[in-house]
Amino acid sequence: MSVRKCTWKTAAGEVRHAWLCDYTGQTGKRHVKTFAQKKDADAFITKAKVEVREGVHTTDSDSVTIRDAADLWLTTGAARGLERATLAAYEQHARLHIVPSLGRMKLSRLSAPAVRDFEDRLRTDGRSAAMIRRILTSLGSMLSDAQERGLVSRNVVRDLGSRRKKGADRRADRRQKGRLKVGENIPSREEIRAIVGALQGLWRPILLTAIFTGLRASELRGLRWADVDLKKGELHVRQRADRYNIIGRPKSESGERTVPLPPIVANALRELKLTCQRTDAEIVFMSSRGHIRNHSNIVKYALIPAQIAAGVTKPDGTAKYTGLHALRHFYASWCIIRTGDGGLGLTPKLIQERLGHSTIGMTLDVYGHLFPRGDDGSELAAAEKSLLG
């Protein structure tokens, strides 16, 4: 492998210079690459030596465009059986963001500065920090797939991510959103009391279950009678229904869990089972036609009307909470509140298990500020008196 200077004259008599990298790839084929500056040629030949030695070097001629790599990546995802919702998100990231900006570029020419420029353009176009992170994650996944195919030697997205502070982007995103607040993101106990008092008819059991078990909407919609033990007063989360009503495993290994049922929920489920018109119903909250209930329909016909009936509304009269996840937030806060204040007073580890979080860090990141402080005024005064007499 060598770097040499090449000099020539144009038709107009102007003297031009360039630096040529002459090297042999791992397949034994000779390659020549041209640079305007010697430092760039030296940097390339140094990197190429290492990559050829390790058998991972990819030349521009052997590479494909990012558009082609995206097509291969999406095809691989479908073949591996990724969830339909996940594939839809990947396809959207590729179609709306990655391909329009980078599609014509060769994979081998994608560099860290090019990725940073892509990231900056997404931010300038008004994409949120969370969306930019998801798009870059998809781009990194696409490059990993291309690496396995031998179409590119490096995953510059992963290289860029490894140089950044772990969790810095996520912390910035949390700062932008702010902490969850009771009465804003989390229904208060008074609001839940009013909603429960207004529940009636078909939708009462499903909203009571959501309020007092903290199940995710997908877990609620996929709940089976076989996983509900009314004698013991508990339910088992073993599956969920995605946005396309396809049944699958919970989000993670921790998602499989056992959740106790308060008497109000157990009684509501008993009544539902007795009045169920379909004797062959496998899904607890199945529609009269035997279909898994649509998420948006539960919000539209159950959650929103219940809030309006209970007076839990905004100044304009619309429902205050627009998603079922608000009920999951309430359940988490109810688990945290001390028993003397009307809560369960559970430990963080037990709350993690009840919610099905993959790590206790996730539980504390989201809900840590809701835990009672151990240094309120009265306790500090007692401690001071004990210390100083």
> What is residue 259's three-state secondary structure?
strand
pTM, 2 dp: 0.71
CA atoms within 13 A on the CB side of 337: 14
Q: How do residues 349-359 score in pLDDT, each as one tens digit?
A: 999 999 999 99
- For the domain spanning 66-177, the CATH number is 1.10.150.130
Task: Grade residue 377 by pLDDT with cuts at 50, 70 and 90.
Answer: low
How many Å apart are CA 120 and CA 305, to the nearest integer? 42
Give CA angle at 271 (267, 275), nearest 5°. Answer: 170
Give CA angle at 149 (143, 155), nearest 5°. Answer: 25
Q: At 218, list the tokens.
A: 């997908």
What sign results for the dihedral spanned by CA atoms 297, 303, 306, 311? negative
CATH, domain 189-370, list 3.40.50.360, 1.10.443.10, 3.30.930.10, 3.30.470.20 = 1.10.443.10
In this structure, are residues 323 and 302 in contact, taking their beta carbons and an 8 Å threshold? no
* Residue 176 pLDDT greater than 90, yes or no: no
Task: Grade residue 376 by pLDDT with cuts at 50, 70 and 90.
Answer: low
Task: Grade residue 260 by pLDDT with cuts at 50, 70 and 90.
Answer: very high
Quick count: other Cβ atoms within 10 Å of Cβ 146? 25
